[in-house]
Structure formats: structure tokens, C-alpha cells
Structure 1
Amino acid sequence: MKKLLKIIGLLLLILAVALGIYTYSKNEPIPEGEEGKKADELAQKMLKALNYDAYKTTRFIEWSFRGKHFYKWDKELDTVSVMWDDKRVSLHTKNPKSSIVFVKNEKTNAPDILQKAIDYFNNDSFWLVAPYKIFEQGIKRNLVNYKNNKALLITYTTGGSTPGDSYLWILDEKGKPVSFKMWVSIIPVGGMEATWNDWITCESGVILPSKHDLSIGSLDMGNVKGFN
């Protein structure tokens, strides 16, 4: 038994060292950029490329996240139906205390489930509409020279579930996002890249992503809809 435990311990040590080497080799520092007018101009160019006016006038957005979380969002009323497993939360995004929690279609008082719905919505909606929110309060914008092209570094100083996260938006010549690189608290490797090039134009004219590809797999956004 002692010999087996020693072997297991040695294997775990080798695994930890290998993981540390991998993390160190893949880790990228957050690039430095310039805050101000030029950064804001690039951000405006990105919004124009994505038809921001259509996003503002779109009332309803529906999608899912990895086939596990399902959403029906009424942007005008600031409410969203968040569904997973046998749970459903009628979430008030501006006033969470007014939200209603259901388990197996029965209304219940469950603060932990409500908080989970808030966290799910914050994360999963980010992967759908993040480009449209870059001028919201608590967001810092920097212009970065990335591979001899202009890129937009966004840092979330407040709000959401993980403030402090940064994303480097890589754009095409028209300003439309093709990918971003991430420096986030939940991923130990800085600079991991995710695609933003599987766009669809919805009924309302809003342009939304249908999936994202990462080195660790894909994020499927389900049957994405935007309508009025």
C-alpha cells in the first residue's frame, strides 16, 4: 500500500510540474495600450460594423449556452427567463430582489438558485452580446498595436460576476470582431483565444454569434433569435 501511495504521489507531482510548465509556456502578459479618443473611435467602429442600432431596438433575444442553460430575454422590461435542469428563474436584471424562482414549476424561496441564475446570465449573455456593451459604466478601453494592426483592449473594472477581467478584441478591416484573447480570473492561462466569427443576422437585424471556438473546445449558443 505504501508503495502504491508513493507511485500515486509521484505521478501527481509529475502532472503538477507538467501543468505548471504548460501554463508558463502558454501564458501571455496583458498588452499595454493607450486610453482615450483613438480607443473610443475604434470601439465605435466595431459597434457600427455590428449594426448597434439594430441591437438597441431589438426587444427579445433567445439563446442557449452549451445546451444546458436556456434564455428568453426581454430587453425592454429588463427581465429574462433563465432555465436549467428542473429550475426556472424569472430574473429582473435591474432589481434581482423582484425575481421569482421556480423548482419543478413550483414557486420557492431559494437565494442560492437566484444567485446561480444571475451568474449564469452574466456569463452566458457576455458570450452573446459583449461587443455591444463596451461603453457601459465601469469599462476601460485601450487601443493596442497587435501584430501591426489595431486591436481593442477592454477591462471590466466593476460590475458582473468577475470584475477585473480583460479582453483583447481582434477586428477585421471593417471593425467586426473575429476573436478575442482573454485574461480572466477563472482561466489560469493568460491570452487564451476564442473566435467571434460565426455571426448570424437575426430577424430584427441584430448580429449575434452562433458559436465560439476555443483551444479547449466549442461553445454552442444554440438557436439564437433576435426579434421585436
Structure 2
Amino acid sequence: MKRAIKIIIGLLLIISFTIGLSIFFLSEDLPKGTQGPKAEELADKMLKALNKPAWDSIKVVSWSYPRGHDYVWDKENKSVKVKWDDYVVVINTDTETGEVYEAGNKVNDDDLFTTGLKYFYNDSFWLIAPFKVKDPGTIRSIVNYEGSDALLVQYTSGGVTPGDSYLWILDEEHKPKAWKFWTSLVPIGGMEFTWERWVNLHGAQISTFHDGIIDIEISNLK
């Protein structure tokens, strides 16, 4: 029995060491950028390419996110319904308060409400992050990435993990091709995902597929 325990502990140590080495060799340092008018101009060009005014004019949007997360976001009335498994969480996006339902019955469960709120923050960010590069509490700077200007956006407040940073890699039309991010939830800095399969949603350009360490596909968007 003791021998088996020692073998298990040894395997766990090897796995931990391997993961640590992977993080060390794969992580990139957060790049240093230059703030100022050029960074603001690049952000404006990106927002223009994606038609942010069209997104702002959309009153209600619904979509599905991987792992069975379904959303109906009433932007006009600042409300969102989050559904997964047997749960439905209705959130007031202004006050971050709301109601929780399990199998159609209203329940008092703060943990479920917090889970729904975190799902919404994460899953909506993968939907509309390009439109949030000038949100309150953001800092923008220009980074030279492989010979071209990229936009580094750092979030000092808001969301679930303030302090996260995202490097937007743009095409010739200033439309995002990919991003790299440095977040507290992901130990490997500079992880890259694509932004592709763009669709026109009442004039607004929305990416519905992200290729990275896993594939993230937005479906049922309307």
C-alpha cells in the first residue's frame, strides 16, 4: 500500500513539474506599448471597421456558447437571461441582482446566481470584446507586433478579473484577426485565439469562431 502511495505521489510530482515547465516555456511577457493619439486612432479604426454604432443600436441579442450556455440579452432594458442545464438566472446588468430558477421553480441560491453572472461576463466578452476597447477603466497603447501596429487594451476595472490585458492583431482593414491575452485565470501569458467567421448582425460585425488551444464557436446568433 505504501509503495502504491509513493508511486502516485511521484507521478503527481512529475505531472506538476511538467506543467510548470510548460507554463515557463510557453508564457510570453506582456508587451510594452505606447499610449497616446496613435493608439486612440487605431482603436477608433477598429471600432469603425466593426460598425460599433450598429451594435449599440441592437436592442436584444441571443446566442449560444459552448458547454450549453444560452443567452437572451435585452440590452435596452439592461436584463439578461442565462440558461444552462436545469437552471435559469435572470440578471439586471446595472445592479447585478436578479432571480434564480431551477427546473422552473424560483430558488434562493447565491452561488447559482454568481455562476450565471460569471458565465455572462465571460461568454459575452467572447462575443463583443472588440466593442469594449474603449470601456471605462481601459488603457490603450500601440505595440509593434511582427512589423505591424497592434492594439494593447488593459482593463483596470470591471468584469470578473480586472487587470487583464488583450493584444488585438488586426488585418489591413483594421478588423481583428486574433488576440493574445494575459489574464489571472489563464496561467500561460500570451495565449492566442483567432477571431474569424464574421457575420453581419444588423450592420454590426460579429466573430462567431475562435481557434486556439480549444475551439470556441458562437451559435444561434440573432
TM-score (norm 2): 0.96
Partner of 1:69: 69
1:107-126 paired onto structure 2 within 5 Å: 107-126=106-125
Describe the superposition over 1:2-34 as per-residue Cα deviations: whole angstroms up to 9, x where unpaired: 222222222222222211111111010000001
Distance in structure 2 (CA, Å) of the matches to 1:167 and 1:96: 25
Distance in structure 2 (CA, Å) of the matches to 1:126 and 1:79: 16
Describe the superposition over 1:59-99 as per-residue Cα deviations: whole angstroms up to 9, x where unpaired: 111111104110011111111111111111221100223x2
SS of residue paired to 1:187? coil
Distance in structure 1 (CA, Å) of the matches to 2:169 and 2:184: 21
Partner of 2:78: 78
SS of residue paired to 1:210? strand
Asked if the contact 1:61–1:224 (Cα under 8 Å) also holds between the matched residues in 2, the reply is yes
Amino acid at match of 1:220: E
Deviation at 1:109, TM superposition (A): 2.3
Asked if the contact 1:210–1:223 (Cα under 8 Å) also holds between the matched residues in 2, the reply is no
Deviation at 1:36, TM superposition (A): 1.6
Partner of 2:44: 44
RMSD of equivalent CA atoms: 1.1
Asked if the contact 1:67–1:220 (Cα under 8 Å) also holds between the matched residues in 2, the reply is no
Describe the superposition over 1:191-212 as per-residue Cα deviations: whole angstroms up to 9, x where unpaired: 000111121112x122112121
Distance in structure 2 (CA, Å) of the matches to 1:129 and 1:51: 12
Distance in structure 1 (CA, Å) of the matches to 2:163 and 2:117: 18
Partner of 2:211: 213
Distance in structure 1 (CA, Å) of the matches to 2:15 and 2:67: 31
**Total equivalences in the alignment:** 222
Distance in structure 2 (CA, Å) of the matches to 1:212 and 1:224: 15
Distance in structure 1 (CA, Å) of the matches to 2:69 and 2:79: 16
Asked if the contact 1:67–1:222 (Cα under 8 Å) also holds between the matched residues in 2, the reply is no
Asked if the contact 1:101–1:109 (Cα under 8 Å) also holds between the matched residues in 2, the reply is yes
Amino acid at match of 1:209: S
